């Protein structure tokens, strides 16, 4: 996920003023395996509603907003 977040963000680096940041939530929906993989870069956690169970859950991972540090790392969860 780290790789994909960086690829998406790189084109915005020259256009982002130093005092601004970008928050992002990145999701991959794999319908073949019925899997949701996600990562978060400083965004509020997304909410997932599972209609069959009637259950609402928060999709939370740790990740710094984009633009603060080139050393930031982003984890993924499934």
Nearest CA-CA partner of 8 in 18, 23, 29: 23
Neighbours of 8 (CB within 10 A): 14
Q: Which residues contact 68 (CB under 8 A, 6 or more apart)?
A: 21
| SS3 call for 37 | strand
User: What mean pLDDT value characterizes the chain?
Assistant: 82
Which of these ranges, 18-27, 47-56, 66-75, has the smallest mean pLDDT? Answer: 66-75
Q: Tell me, what DSSP letter sits at residue 62?
A: -
Domain boundaries, the chain: 2-59
pLDDT (0 to 100) of residue 45: 87
pLDDT of residue 2: 64
Average pLDDT over residues 18-36: 87
List of residues 6+ apart from 9 with CB closer than 8 A: 22, 24, 41, 66, 67
CB 17 within 8 A of CB 24: no
pLDDT tier at 56 (50, 70, 90 boundaries)? very high
pTM, rounded to two decimals: 0.66
| Mean pLDDT for the stretch of residues 14-18 | 76
């Amino acid at each position: 996920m780290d790789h994909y977040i960086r690829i998406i963000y790189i084109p915005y680096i020259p256009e982002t003023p130093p005092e601004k940041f970008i928050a992002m939530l990145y999701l991959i929906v794999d319908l073949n395996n019925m899997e949701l993989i996600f990562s978060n870069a400083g965004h509020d956690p997304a909410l997932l509603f599972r209609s069959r169970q009637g259950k609402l859950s928060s999709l939370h991972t740790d990740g710094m907003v984009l633009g603060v540090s080139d050393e930031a790392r982003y984890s993924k969860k499934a």
